[in-house]
Structure 1
Amino acid sequence: MEFAVLGLGEAEERTYQALVASPHTTAAELAADMGTSTPVTAHLLAVLVAKHLATRNGRPARYLAAPPDVTLARLIQERDQDLSAARAKVNALTELHRNANNVSGPELGMELLTDRAAIGAAARLLTFEARDQVRALDRPPYVDRPGSHLEEQLDRMRQGVAYRVVYSRAATEWPHRLKDDILPAREGGERARVRPELPIKLVIRDDQDALIPFNLGPGGQQLAVLVRRSPVLTALEALFEAEWDRAVAIDQGGAASDARPREEADEITRSLLALLTTGMSDTAIARAQGWSLRTTHRRLRRLMAQLGATTRFQAGLIAGRRGLI
């Protein structure tokens, strides 16, 4: 039942919903409506009164449901406070765990993670704890399904956390990665760029810590190093910024220099333009979009003609000036 998270049992929730629909009713009347016995219904109504979800007045006693938008909102707020306290406890335990598992003492600030669950948990914790920005170098292989963490990222960006991500070209060609993850994240505010190759996979939270996952074989990620504030982290930040400076932007966004209004483009056109900026081949574009090579060639020719461009580079410049990407 939906309200179980608020501390209501299934029978209590059903009784409350029935009482909302039948105000100023007696226990016997409500029991008849619900098809239950009067003693059981009277007990459930007493529970609701004790939880301030209902009031009792008169003789014989008649019951009235408390306004859901007030009462249930209060329960939700209480649960939010409980969850905040639990998160604080998790963070404290995580800090204790990190300190206890430092590779060579607190001054080094490096923790070795040796299984997929721990690596995934560390990555989610880094992004959840970010206050200013998340920086990442993104390259295959991937353990999770593309797009499985998209909503979490969009929520963090709505809260003001900036995302800057450099993708390897192989990442944009990974099945469903571009369509289900990269492009929606970019639409949500992520600043995304592409490099032909990346030396490592990396996630950096603010200027506090970083995660470096390793792929040790065909089974996927089996090892990672969590790096805290240290000279090693400073070096990793410098590596990211160097790769960022050399990368090509997927989204030109507001970088267009003219003041003309942005033109509208359909989804296929936007996808094609985004793929062109990555430098992907026609074959790779066809594979990423699930098109035949013939369809891809036809749509590319049509797009180039619409833009009045003779080269892909020129198409990107014209599209950027028009605000299409």
Structure 2
Amino acid sequence: MTYAKLDEALRLLGLDDAAARLYPALLDLAPAPLSEIAAAAGVAGMAGADPAAAYADLVDAGLAQAAGAGGDPVAPVPPAAGLEVLVRHRAAALEESRVAIGGAFESFRRRRLATHHDTFVEVVTGAAVGPRTRQAWASARDQIRQLESPPYSPMPESTDDALATLARGVTQRVVYSRESLEHPGRLREAIEPCINAGEQARVLPSVPVKLVIIDDAYALVSLALDEADVHHTTLVVQPCGLLSALIALFEQCWRQALPFHGRTTSPGGLPPADRRLLWLLAGGASDETIARELGISRRTLFRRLQILMARLGAANRFQLALHAQRQGWL
């Protein structure tokens, strides 16, 4: 029988080549003498390989039963318990590797800082920006905090990266500018899918900078195209006073921003279309933008606004947004 990539999977769990080659043959031939299984697997001919030691590794991993007298016959056992132990050991080893490599780089950074004073901020330009941004999203462990606003560079995979990060259980808090909501297609194609996937979103009339903070580890600050001349430029800010200031800036914007998401149900029988209208209104979107996103005419939009204002006793749009927030509609 063919076991595609089984030996590779076993090596990833920490078993050596001999044990990884022995196990598929064990599944095909057991119960059988160990010598026969080792010969079929080619372990007996491997330089420096000991079939008995390789089988003992499988036993220790909980994948095979202990050999009887003389080592015959041998057989596999249900792997669930053994695999759980292997996976935990592997995860612990990977975490130790992560800490060791991170610590080694931090030592390098500190040594270079003492000599060159140039590692607090890294400048990434041109074609390198996209891969570096994707790497940042993939590296997040706990949370991503973002201040979002145009201009947007052509990165069609950015929404997929955000959705994948949410699917991993990483918290995402994003403050959007009003321009983000009004940018053609941005709301429907990028913002709403992320909100529906669990992103916590708020909106301000404007944000002071385009910013992505990965955990508390580092931040990416994107320069607008006109600020960076003809270059697409991102600053990668490492732990320092500047990173602390950027985190504080995000938290201040978050406190001041209006929520741009709500409960999944429609409170008080509010139709989903009207609730979406209120989201856009609270975000400061223009009449043209709201009508376009809802797929209605401006006349229909005005009629819906009049009905909502009458329902809440609001004299103007500002009061409408305020009352809607108090009612839990935003």
Shorter-chain TM-score range: 0.5 to 0.7
Normalization by structure 1: what TM-score?
0.64
Summarize the alignment of residues 255-266 of structure 1 with structure 2, pairs less than 5 Å apart.
Answer: none
Q: For the structure 1 residues 196 and 303, does the alpha-carbon distance in structure 2 shift closer, same or farther, using more than 3 Å as the test? A: closer
1:40 alignment partner AA: A
Q: Note the C-alpha offset of 1:184.
A: 5.3
Q: Note the C-alpha offset of 1:314.
A: 5.5
Determine if contact 2:146/2:213 at 8 Å carries over to the other structure: yes
Match in the other structure for 1:151: 164
Q: For the structure 1 residues 66 and 220, does the alpha-carbon distance in structure 2 shift closer, same or farther, using more than 3 Å as the test? A: farther
Pick aligned residue for 1:81 from 63, 84, 92: 92
2:206 alignment partner AA: E
After superposition, give the CA deviation of every residue in 1:64-105 in whole Å (9 maximum; x if it has no partner): 322221111122112212221221133224424543665995
2:11 alignment partner AA: G
Report whether the alignment pairs 1:7 with 2:11. Answer: yes
Report whether the alignment pairs 1:66 with 2:66. Answer: no
- Percent identical among aligned pairs is 27
1:169 alignment partner AA: R
Pick aligned residue for 2:223 from 191, 214, 217: 214
- For structure 2, the 5+ residue unaligned runs are 45-50
1:74 alignment partner AA: V
2:246 alignment partner AA: L
Determine if contact 1:123/1:203 at 8 Å carries over to the other structure: no
Secondary structure in 2 matching 1:198: coil
Aligned CA-pair RMSD: 4.9
Match in the other structure for 1:166: 175
After superposition, give the CA deviation of every residue in 1:222-249 in whole Å (9 maximum; x if it has no partner): 331415322x445434543443344322
Mapped partners of 1:95, 1:125: distance in 2: 20
Secondary structure in 2 matching 1:116: helix
Match in the other structure for 2:279: 274
Whichever of the two has the greater Rg, that structure is 2
Match in the other structure for 2:147: 137
Mapped partners of 1:266, 1:13: distance in 2: 60
Mapped partners of 1:64, 1:251: distance in 2: 57
Report whether the alignment pairs 1:196 with 2:205. Answer: yes
Secondary structure in 1 matching 2:159: coil
1:146 alignment partner AA: T
Report whether the alignment pairs 1:50 with 2:60. Answer: no
Secondary structure in 2 matching 1:7: helix
Mapped partners of 2:300, 2:115: distance in 1: 58
Secondary structure in 2 matching 1:147: helix
In the comparison of the two structures, how many residue pairs are matched?
296
- For structure 1, the 5+ residue unaligned runs are 32-36, 254-260
Normalization by structure 2: what TM-score?
0.63
